[in-house]
């Protein structure tokens, strides 16, 4: 944790430009490390929100008897659960990068399901 804290540097304390580059490089590496630690958490929360949304649409379409929306919502809920478990696995394996394409598909499927449900509910 001590290496994450910035050091106060004066020009007199630097004997060469390589020390300055080393200190700046260390601070940049610490910032990147903190950002990479939070990426899987964002991916998990995004997938969790999409899964809950898909599940809620499934339950509501089940109660309102929208058969086609129900089938689409059940399929997409299963797909969102798969994406959620994949995001959790990335966190457990401590991968540095999260899958941007997976996050894009999570959002795209959630938006498409919400649009399909809204269309069926309000224009029926």
Contact between 80 and 108 under an 8 Å Cβ cutoff? The reply is no
Give the pLDDT confidence score for residue 39 in this predicted structure.
76
pTM of the model: 0.69
53-82 b/e (C-beta count within 10 Å ≥ 16 → b)? bbbebbeebeeeebeebbebbbebbebbbe
Residue 17: predicted pLDDT:
54
pLDDT of residue 4: 53
pLDDT along the chain (124 residues), means of 10: 52 53 64 69 94 96 93 96 94 85 96 96 85
């Amino acid at each position: 944790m001590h290496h994450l804290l910035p050091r106060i540097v004066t020009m007199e304390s630097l004997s060469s430009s390589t020390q300055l580059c080393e200190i700046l490089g260390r601070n940049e590496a610490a910032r990147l490390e903190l950002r990479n630690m939070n990426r899987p958490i964002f991916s998990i929360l995004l997938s969790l929100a999409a899964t809950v949304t898909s599940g809620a649409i499934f339950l509501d379409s089940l109660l309102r008897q929208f058969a086609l929306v129900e089938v689409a919502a059940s399929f997409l809920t299963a797909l969102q659960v798969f994406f959620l478990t994949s995001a959790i696995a990335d966190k457990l394996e401590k991968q540095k990068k999260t899958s941007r394409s997976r996050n894009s598909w999570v959002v795209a499927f959630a938006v498409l399901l919400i649009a399909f449900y809204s269309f069926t509910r309000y224009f029926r």
